[in-house]
Structure 1
Amino acid sequence: MSNNILMLVLVISTIFVGCSPKEKNKDTITERVVASDFVLEVTTPTVISTGEALKVKGTLKYTGIKPVEITHGKPIIRFFFSGSDEERNYTDVGYVTEFKSGQVVEVKDEFRVTKKGKQNLFVDVTGDISLNMNPIEILVK
């Protein structure tokens, strides 16, 4: 009897796992760039519709061993999207952050999508960190 109950529990749990919602958006990517003692990752949708909000996230991780002070603007990770008419007012200088080993800084931003076609998301890291990421192509329907 206990084997039958165990088998029933396994079958039901398999059905629920098989029917659970899959990844919300298959058209989301994470691009990664490594330079010196820093790793920059940017997560963004690659397909979006006009009028929607493009939500992007960037993380900057320090992988060095010794603490290091970085002079930068705010935010330290900046996004520019060619498919939007929105302007950003960033502070270019005046901030100093001491990064310790394993420290992560996360920046989120969003843009109201206004232009159709192939658009580009540009990512920049301000200050003393030299990271170059190629533009990420986003298709706006």
Structure 2
Amino acid sequence: MSNNILMLVLVVSMIVAGCSSKEKEKNEDNVIERVVASDFVLEVTTPTVLSTGETIKVQGTLKYTGIKPVEVFHGKPIIRFSFSGSNEERNYADVGYVTEFKSGQVVEVEDEFIVTKKGKQNLFVDMTADISLTMNPIEILVK
């Protein structure tokens, strides 16, 4: 009977290990890029390996780390994405918006593009604010 229990434990642990390794592989294809300037931190999360026909989902997070509230003038959305591996274009509102950032405040922007081009592509991240944050293009491999 103890051999049956030992075998059951072994099989269950192998199943759990197999499931977790697949999740890990999937997470290894994501990257988080970070840029810090004065009292702001910009983070972008994106997959880095895709296939044509898939949808790339990207997320940008802007966090204010300063202590005193500060007004920021910007377009909408404050974080903008463009992807060289897609034919999609965005029509953004460049009308002046003002956001008062308080300590610890976070703004999140998500976008997605349908992947249409193979090879090495770039995700471009742009800020439409009077904050000087520049992020290098993020390379994405499309199979």
TM-score tier by shorter-chain length is: 0.7 to 0.9
Structure 2 alignment gaps of length 5 or more: 1-5
CA distance in 2, matches of 1:121, 1:18: 33
CA distance in 2, matches of 1:90, 1:19: 44
Instruction: Report matched runs for 1:24-43 at 5 Å.
Output: 24-43=26-45
Instruction: Report matched runs for 1:38-49 at 5 Å.
Output: 38-49=40-51
Residue aligning to 2:130: 128
Residue aligning to 2:93: 91
Greater helix proportion: 2
Aligned residues: 133
* Superposition RMSD in Å: 2.0
Structure 1 runs (4+) deviating above 3 angstroms are 16-20
Superposition TM-score, scaled by structure 1 size? 0.86
Q: Secondary structure at the match of 1:75?
A: strand
**Residues 86-135 of structure 1: per-residue CA shift (max 9 Å, x gap):** 01010113211000000000000000000111000000111211100000
Return the letter of the residue paired with 2:30: T
2:117 to 112, 115, 118: 115
CA distance in 2, matches of 1:46, 1:55: 11
1:57 to 56, 59, 76: 59
Return the letter of the residue paired with 1:86: E
Q: Secondary structure at the match of 2:99?
A: strand
Does the CA contact (< 8 Å) of 1:40 and 1:58 recur in 2? yes
